[in-house]
Chain A
Amino acid sequence: MKIHKYDTVIVGAGGAGMRAAIEATKRSRTAVLTKLYPTRSHTGAAQGGMAAALANVEEDNWEWHTFDTVKGGDYLVDQDAAEILAKEAIDAVLDLEKMGLPFNRTPDGTIDQRRFGGHSRNHGEAPVRRSCYAADRTGHMILQTLYQNCVKEGVEFFNEFYVLDQLITEVDGVKHSAGVVAYELATGEIHVFQAKAVIYASGGTGKFFKVTSNAHTLTGDGQAACYRRGLPLEDMEFFQFHPTGIWRMGILLTEGARGEGGILRNKDGERFMEKYAPVMKDLASRDVVSRSIYTEIREGRGCGPEGDHVYLDLTHLPPEQLDAKLPDITEFARTYLGIEPYTDPIPIQPTAHYAMGGIPTNVEGEVLADNTTVVPGLYAAGEVACVSVHGANRLGTNSLLDINVFGKRSGIAAARYAAENDFVELPEDPAAFVQEQVERLRNSTGSERVADLRAELQETMDANVMVFRTEQTIKTAVEKIAELRERYKNVAIQDKGKRFNTDLLEAIELGNLLDLAEVMAVSALARKESRGGHYREDYPNRDDVNFMRHTMAYREVGADGSDSVRLDYKPVVTTRYQPMERKY
Chain B
Amino acid sequence: MATPTLEKVEAESAASPYITVTFRIRRFNPEVSDTAEWQDFQIEIDPKERVLDGLHKIKWDLDGTLTFRRSCAHGICGSDAMRINGKNRLACKTLIKDINPEKPITIEAIKGLTVMKDLVVDMEPFFQAYRDVMPFLVTKGNEPTRERRQSPEDRERFDDTTKCILCAACTSSCPVFWNDGQYFGPAAIVNAHRFIFDSRDEAGEQRLEILNDKDGVWRCRTTFNCTDACPRGIEVTKAIQEVKRALITRRF
Contacts and interface: CB of A to CB of B under 8 A. Distances in A.
B45 interface: no
A42 B72 contact: yes
B78 A500 contact: no
Given A100-B200, A144-B162, A215-B73, A499 B151 contact: no
A104 B74 contact: no
A495 B127 CA distance: 29
A41 to B, nearest CB: 7
Given A108-B149, A216-B70, A335-B95, A37 B158 contact: no
A42 B77 contact: yes
A44 B162 contact: no
Interface in A341-373: 349
B63 interface: yes
Interface stretch (B5-13, B176-184, B213-221): B5-13
Nearest to A332: B74
A234 to B, nearest CB: 24
A36 B117 contact: no
Interface in A130-183: 134, 137, 140-141, 144, 148-149, 151-152
Contact of B71 (A140, A215, A248, A464): A215
Interface stretch (B16-24, B131-139, B204-212, B242-250): B131-139
B4 interface: yes
A109 B149 contact: yes
B60 interface: yes
A383 to B, nearest CB: 15
Contacts of B93: 335
Interface in B162-204: 162-166, 195, 198, 200-201
Contacts of A467: 3
B14 interface: no
A503 B148 contact: no
Nearest to B201: A100
Given A100-B136, A148-B136, A498-B31, A44 B72 contact: yes
A563 to B, nearest CB: 27
A453 to B, nearest CB: 11
B150 A308 contact: no
Nearest to A139: B76
B116 A148 contact: no
B152 interface: yes
B146 interface: yes
B4 A499 contact: no
A110 B71 contact: no
A274 B127 CA distance: 50
A248 B11 CA distance: 16
Interface string B118-149: 10100100010011000111010001001111
A37 B148 CA distance: 30
Contacts of B7: 459
Contacts of B103: none
Contacts of B95: 335-336
Contacts of B165: 39, 44, 140
Given A294-B4, A464-B2, A98 B148 contact: yes
B247 to A, nearest CB: 22
Q: Which of under 10, 10 to 19, 20 to 34, or 35 or more describes the interface residues of B?
A: 35 or more
A298 interface: yes
A217 interface: yes
B30 A499 contact: yes
A192 interface: no
A451 B61 contact: yes
B71 A216 contact: yes
A186 B151 CA distance: 45
Interface string A97-111: 111101111111111
Contacts of A36: 71, 77, 79
A466 interface: yes
Contacts of A108: 149
B85 interface: no
Given A294-B4, A451-B60, A499 B31 contact: yes
Contacts of B4: 294, 297-298, 308
A332 B127 CA distance: 27
B74 A105 contact: no
A42 B71 contact: yes
Contacts of A144: 162, 164
B75 interface: yes
B71 A499 contact: no
B29 interface: yes
Nearest to A476: B2
Given A97-B147, A463-B5, A141 B162 contact: yes
A468 B3 contact: yes
A211 B7 CA distance: 12
Contacts of B30: 499
B58 to A, nearest CB: 11
Given A148-B137, A503-B65, A98 B6 contact: no
B163 A137 contact: yes
Nearest to A40: B77
Interface string A518-548: 0000000000000000000100000000000
Nearest to B72: A215
B64 A503 contact: yes
A61 interface: no
Contacts of A97: 147-148
Contact of B136 (A37, A104, A149, A338): A149
15 contacts: A40-B78, A104-B155, A215-B72, A215-B77, A216-B71, A294-B4, A308-B6, A332-B74, A449-B60, A451-B60, A459-B5, A463-B3, A463-B5, A495-B65, A497-B31
Interface of B: 1-8, 11, 29-32, 48, 59-61, 63-65, 67-79, 93, 95, 116-118, 120, 123, 127, 130-131, 135-137, 139, 143, 146-152, 155, 158-159, 162-166, 195, 198, 200-201
